[in-house]
Structure 1
Amino acid sequence: MRLGLRTRLTLLYGALFFAAGSTLVWSTYLLTAKALNQQFTVAYSKISEAGADLPSEKPIGEVLIGDVGQRATSVLDEMLRSSLLIMVLVGIAATVVGYLIADRALRPLDRVTETAQRLSEGNLHERIALRGRPQDEIKRLADTFDAMLDRLHRVFDAQRRFIANASHELRTPLAINRTVLEVSLEEPGASPDLKTLARALLGTNARHERLIEGLLLLAQSEQELTSRRPLELDQVVRAALDQLDPLPRNRPVTIHRDLSPVTVEGDPLFLERAVCNLVENAIKYNVRDGQVWISCDQGGLVVENTGQPVPPYEVEDLFEPFRRLQGDRVRSARGAGLGLSIVRAIVDAHGGTVTATSRPEGGLRVAITLPSPPAPVAGSGNTRIPARTG
């Protein structure tokens, strides 16, 4: 397990103190022992000279020096034990003080981390704003981070304005073209060739409208969600299915539903668009008299369809913009190649996951999991526990 910065700094402070304290204790012990040894040597010489003429089996100087030497050794040992005990106690106190100092020094970094974790596209206006600190390294780091947030905020604002302007500027001429072509088709004196050309241009115009709508929706889906609320996923699926035509002219399909109540958290409009794209994709790239299975339960949403065989190594590429399979999906008239890209962008914005697998019989199986809303607070009066979908 990797230790935190506070713990590492505290251990470093403690280790340095014990290293310095041990060096001081042993140096004091050795210097004291050396000084005592020198003093005893001089005293022993003087006492030996003075008591050399006294008749005795053992000179009195040796007796005195031996007794004093034993006492000095005892004093040195006691001093060593006391010094080590004091060093340990002071070392523990120094380690605690070191932790408090490290905590105080690193506390501004906690503000930087908390702000970075809390920030998203919807609250880029927040700043760390360290005030009352000297111009040290941490203050410069916080100011640099705030300056980076200022730049990001300006970039995201410019992006939102661009999407809004592009939505208007691109849709308006196409809407005018559609109106002109539709009026031309209603003209009584229009020749058959003119009507044929107008119908062809209407089809081209419609494909361009779908392409622009898909690009704008993809750009909006990749942004941070500004609103989230608990909602019933099965109701969202039903609302999306009510908007679709399961019986296209060339390839009618049968849709099977198995929808169980499940609560998720998100934006209903974006989730409805994701479901529409999934089901449209399952219908569009199906076979004649094919099948589509839609199930919704505690595990999330699953859309499965029959169709042409899909190579497993090409499944992941289908989530990239403008990517289609070779053969049946290569013609842009069938679609812009943005359906699954928009689905992934919406699911990612909700904090969920989307996976796709190829069916051995042909077709795809796409599964979506979404986060469930937080559990109700105790005592709030709401006793319902939301289902878990991811």
Structure 2
Amino acid sequence: MNPRDWLRRLPVVTRLVLAVAVTMALVLTGAAGLVYWRVRTALDQQLNDDLTTYQRSLDAAVRARTPLPPGPSGSLQQVLDAHGRVLRSSDALRHQPLLAPAELDAVAHGATVRRDVGSLLPITADTLRLQARHVTTGGQPRVVVAAVRRGHRDEALRELLAQLALASALTLIAASYVGYRTARGALRPVERYRSGAATLADGVPHTRLDVPADRHDEITRLGHTLNHMLDRLQAAAERERRFVADASHELRTPLTLMRAELDVALHRPRTAGELTDTLRSVDTEVQRLIGLSNALLDLEGLGSGHHLTRARTRLADLVEAAVARHRRTAEQAGRVLSADVPDTAIDVDARWLQPALGNLLDNALRHGHGTVRLTATVHEGGLRLTVTDEGPGFPPEFLPRAFDRFARAEASRTSEGAGLGLAFVHAVAIAHGGTAHAENTAHGSAVTLDLPC
């Protein structure tokens, strides 16, 4: 399995703790390495200074042909000729040469050789640091080797490594524990929200997440967002249930009437005229069903934004096309239908906006009185369309739900229509990114569309 895929499968808390642990391990390793390097450099510098001082005293004694002076505690010395034979040596070394042939050759050519004997880890006995230089005395070449013990230096470094390892391990454990507790505490509300959402998924109504009111961090904002989403989901579910109930009622009525007409027609032989009347009645109900189905399909089509296509359209042409279809109806009813529209171009979907205006004009002619006026204004990239009449207006209790599907005022329930006209108008406004508003005025009713254009 790919390590990245394996990490993705781990719980979030585990991944956070691993990230903290790895980061802290890298930081602690770097810090420990820096401390160790600085201490080792200081100890090596002190050791090298002691070794150089001891080397100079040995070089001076060899040149002067005097006894070799004692050095620091545990130090060693050795004098060799050009062929590597030991001429003088510390008692601890006896006649064992400290230099390899290659090192002896390098010193004979004027180089200074410095190296360590033994290792820091694993622990070895008789660890030394030696230095060899070429010296001439009485015309004879000599190789002087000075060596000091590294025991104290190595012991200090080993103790430092142990302390750094212990301190780093304790710090890493503490940081991982704090990271774990912090991650668990930060994600605990998320788990609580998940449990609440699972309860809602089980069908428990009116479930809301317990969000603290005295905080405003990311998790709290997530809780408020989820509660807002739950509110909208519940409202949508209620609207859906109401829609199904209303649609069932609206569809049942014409179907019941059609069934009754057909039952009566088939109950006994009928004359041609009676059958014609029955067929006309059935045709009326069929047309009602078709209109209702088309309206529902239009509303569903507007529910998805990809059905909306804006195009540059002359406002006067759009309004005239909507008004022209209702002029004959207005003339037959002895009503005045007027339009006040500026000569400008707008970016809208005329395919949807024109029937929406037609619905408003149709409602005003069927339920209102007097003159019906359609006014349009364009200001700062916004289009306002208002249809007014001089009728009694909307019932006050109907206004809050005027744009709901199948919503009809009590006075209009016996008239034609399924209560989808204003719902379609509202859907068109929302699809354009605008709003729809219905109100009563001093002279009648008014429905206003505000659309960006």
TM band (smaller chain): 0.3 to 0.5
Q: Which has the higher strand share?
A: 2
Determine which structure has more spread, i.e. the larger CA radius of gyration.
2
TM-score by length of 1: 0.45
Q: Greater relative contact order (Cα 8 A, min sep 6): structure 1 or 2?
A: 1
TM-score by length of 2: 0.39
